[in-house]
Amino acid sequence: MPPQSGRLAYITGANSGIGFHAALELARAGCAVILACRGRSKAEAARSRILAAVPHADAEIADLDLANLDSVRAAAGAFLASGRSLDLLINNAGVMALPQRRATAQGFELQFGTNHLGHFALTGLLLPALLRPGNQPKPAPARIITVSSIAHRGATMDFSDLQWERRYVPWPAYRRSKLANLLFGFELERRLERAQAPAASIVVHPGVSNTNLFAAGPGSGGGLLAKIIPPFIALTSQSAAQGSWPLLYAATSAAVKGGHYYGPHGFREMRGYPVEVRAEQQAYDEVLAAKLWQVSEQLTGVQYPL
């Protein structure tokens, strides 16, 4: 990774898993990092771990609950009030395949609400800071990185029941939220390009990585699954640190292009070094993306100037 001093990164869900390792490595390379997390004590613990490894790290904490649009507005407002520009926004936080349907503060299904709508709102609200000249001596376009998943494959974007009110099914609900991440990331790039705005939108996925996502999601219902999932994932997946490589590549490589998708190079993109990958065809559907954009603006009340 090239030196990152002078850059500022805002990373959601930076207290755990892939987001934590992305924050740690960016900090190690000299990037100032904002750990945007929903739990103060977990965020403080993550900051302490970063400072233990990188004593000179510039790491601050922002309170952000993506499952509450009031919190998203407050977090974005607090950042904008600081008057700083942002070089990197990493839309990483997520929840996966919760056994029972749960809802955000505004009543959206929790995975769609957190993984997609929360990040849609956050990005739109932080846009003024992303489009200002960067913090580096030689400003480069800001990068907005959204974390999707190989689980986007086979998703359905059913606008007649976007919130899974008729019948909730855990994995399809997760798949939909991850397809939404791709549709959003690609549509954002098209809009930034049309506006000739100085920012790029990039989508990544971490393969299959050993993080808390599995215990917090499918394993959270207790029973046998809760016992089996964590050791199975530990045995079969790559580490959380390796999972952060596509994020770090998208954040720092000169080879990365806006509107493209990056993930691990290995078998079925489950592990390995970051390379450009192809999403499923429907992720490139511009009509679907425009419809999702319009609905997301309506649901969040966040209007993009793009």
Ligand X SMILES: NC(=O)c1ccc[n+]([C@@H]2O[C@H](COP(=O)([O-])OP(=O)(O)OC[C@H]3O[C@@H](n4cnc5c(N)ncnc54)[C@H](OP(=O)(O)O)[C@@H]3O)[C@@H](O)[C@H]2O)c1
Contact between 216 and ligand X per CB under 6 A: yes
Q: How far apart are CA 62 and CA 76, in angstroms?
A: 9
Polymer length in residues for the chain: 306
Structure tokens at 31: 């990037």
How many of the other CB atoms lie within 10 Å of CB of 241? 17
Structure tokens at 48: 């302490």
What 3-state class would DSSP assign to 260?
coil
Spell out where 149-268 has E strands: 199-204, 209-210, 238-239, 261-264
Selected from 7, 11, 13, 182, the binder of ligand X by CB under 6 A is 13
Pick between residue 115 and residue 135 the one whose CB is nearest to ligand X: 115
Selected from 17, 219, 258, 274, the binder of ligand X by CB under 6 A is 17
**What DSSP string runs through 26-92?**
HHHTT-EEEEEES-HHHHHHHHHHHHHH-TT--EEEEE--TT-HHHHHHHHHHHHHTT---SEEEE-
How many residues lie near ligand X (CB under 6 A)? 33
Contact between 204 and ligand X per CB under 6 A: no
| Whether 284 is catalytic | no
- Specify whether the CB–CB gap between 68 and 104 falls below 8 A: yes
Selected from 8, 9, 11, 16, the binder of ligand X by CB under 6 A is 16
Structure tokens at 129: 């800071």
| Least distance (Å) between residue 215 CB and ligand X | 8
Contact between 209 and ligand X per CB under 6 A: yes
Spell out where 87-223 has E strands: 88-91, 142-147, 199-204, 209-210
Contact between 300 and ligand X per CB under 6 A: no
Pick between residue 135 and residue 178 the one whose CB is nearest to ligand X: 178
User: Which residue among 10, 174, 261, 262 is the active-site one?
Assistant: 174
Q: How far apart are CA 270 and CA 59, in angstroms?
A: 30
- Specify whether the CB–CB gap between 120 and 184 falls below 8 A: yes
Here's the x/- map for ligand X, 240-279, by CB under 6 A: it reads as ---x------------------------------------
Pick between residue 212 and residue 282 the one whose CB is nearest to ligand X: 212
Range in contact with ligand X (rule: CB under 6 A) among 58-66, 74-82, 133-141, 223-231: 58-66
Contact between 163 and ligand X per CB under 6 A: no
Selected from 61, 90, 93, 173, the binder of ligand X by CB under 6 A is 93
In 41-75, which positions are buried (b, 16+ CB within 10 angstroms) versus exposed (e)? ebbeebbeebeeebeebebebbebbbbbbebbbbb
Selected from 4, 123, 135, 211, the binder of ligand X by CB under 6 A is 211
Here's the x/- map for ligand X, 60-79, by CB under 6 A: it reads as ----xxxx------------
Which residues in the 110-129 window bind ligand X by CB under 6 A?
Answer: 114-115
Query: Which positions are annotated as active-site residues?
Result: 174
**Footprint of ligand X on this chain (CB under 6 A)?**
12-13, 15-19, 37-39, 42, 64-67, 92-96, 114-115, 147, 149, 205-206, 208-209, 211-213, 216, 243
